[in-house]
Structure 1
């Protein structure tokens, strides 16, 4: 919804006390959990959700969705209300507010590569939802609010509405997930709504697990038979099926396990040691042969212990332990141990099938081995520390995990779904290229002075540079002190200035760059052209005989076939259509104008938007309107 800047935004005005109380009551009614929360740093919850100085403004998104935006006194978005008839009176917290109350709304978990897709404007697909192990999938109705978290992080990165009921998504647990959308994204971290605010740093307790993502594609095997088995393509012969199931429990001989900064090769002898005989039960159901893996208690104990070693060596490492410990035993088990079981038969291991039966009993037995340190606090067991020099950790080589397998599958599905959605979709980009004044800045940050950069990228470059060089004024973080590089990049001709407001820096940088644009299909390599986008012009006027006509020009710039467009208008408008050379244009360009009878501005606009032309690049001139 905020992938692009809003089409229109009214002026912000402070809310009256009565309006602020009304909004507060509406929020509390929509999110009852807030009523039971204790004050945060002695600040009442009501003062956090609807603070003094709250402002509001009407807006219309780039997809023509009307709504109301609520910000604090400094302009940081806190809430927005969607005002369309389908989603009437739905009030939604922004990422800024969700970081204050990370568990306010039920959530789904996805992989980091999928979050990047969401930031690019995609909706969350069902295969992108992590359902492995005991990862929760709440039973949410269609259109219910839901947040999206990245694997291993506790704070939401997106908020949207359910496109598919949660029960449907949960039913695919352990199987190949169906295609289709899981969540319609309304707002995502780093989108245009986010950049309107303070662009705050990630919370200090951001990570519940390692914030470092290991690309699952690096662990792909050349052998595709295991993929075929996981997709449910069985063999006709039960003996071959048993053999295949046995093969799937083997870790990839070529595989590697993720480490904190690199990946360590798995010792072949240890891999061979994991090869064991597994029992395969053949069940008969209406003539169809099915298989079920049966693990012994000793095997379950072994697989769970290996999963714990995987977590302690590659996830809860010594470098990140200070940030995430102490940790509850339930979080350790559900968010770390279960996803880090080895692929194959080990993925069936569960604490209830172990010799200990209960999680606390198992962890206390591990503590007796001097591997971990636990403590019971108010009836709940916590993991406090790890013996990093323990021989078991020193000799453990690692294995390919369920988590990596799910990541690879989700990544492939997301890319496939995105590729299908992007096919023949028009893409309009505006980017800036450095000139002589700003070239030094880009070379200083390791970027090409001949590159093309979007406004979002420029803002991120500036923010990173300010932070690295510590250029924010200590007394006022909204003021940036200019060094020698920034004076050239942000300065205006003849201007002598040492400090500028932070919110002016991107505009100043853009003024020292050259605007370019690209119009083409998604997936193609952009070829930028100097200058801004020339909009399509729709002119409605009265011709001789008091007949109203609608003229359209500039279609060629957006790769729209003029003849096809004219035929579509003729059918849609049920009127005569004429195509003539564009008056005033060079004959070499062969630009043409389409004219259709009647006041057809609305129909023409709809056809253009269906073809992917953003509304901000459609210019309408109505010469029939009466002058006031």
Structure 2
């Protein structure tokens, strides 16, 4: 929601009666918040400002700010704490922990998926669907994100820790949009009616058990969502070819948002975590991993389906990396890295003579 610039509508100091009402609402919304903590967060004699903003997707958000630090924000009449508050009161919300490489996905607006949740020995926190939750990283208690539980903790267990855990933005809509562009739409289909794109491509990319409902998203309409994909992300170009009917006329097939990068260390870490979570290490020989249906589909050739039941760790890693697209980044000071597919071309540097005793690097 706050990944991009927002527009401030108003900024006013709160009155005494409104301050008391806010405290009452906070105690009702967060029962674990003690009176002392509340008095420290919202002191009676400090200036408390109410800032009304419009986020980059058009959501109306109310911020409560003390000393220029946003403490709580309200969306659709529901209060949420900011990470600043959670740093001071880390036990305020039930917390889910994930791995550091996942943080970049969350910053980009993705939801926290259950395979990325680290289950502690004491088990998952007890939450219901829609409960406000915090997200932390392994070996760091400081929360990095706030969201809502997409399903209850009991459902998370029954789902085998697969699917979406904590919902942070309109991720399902974006996920289906990106998946459809990357795997379903062909250049020969353009121009493509936006209604056909939604019906024939985006709906079919929706994960099992989920349903796209644009009216429940912050965009409310398909046209508004596609407009954001065009103006803010430059992924597509939409044009009204006939009156009242819009079509996708152009797609940026090489857009960096249509792919994600991981280094080999991150891949090894996630594969190792998956193996341990699913108890796939062969008990009598820890050097081997049992090939379950997921690993079978991802890593084995069809001719191996009936023959290969286990893999050595090194073979598991090499097969995983071998199925991934090799890429490299070119980094210029002060600019965003440029990611390109394939191995980096070798760079030869030599010294050549120019004119009379003039040396140049080539």
TM superposition score normalised by structure 1: 0.30
Larger of the two Rg values belongs to structure: 1
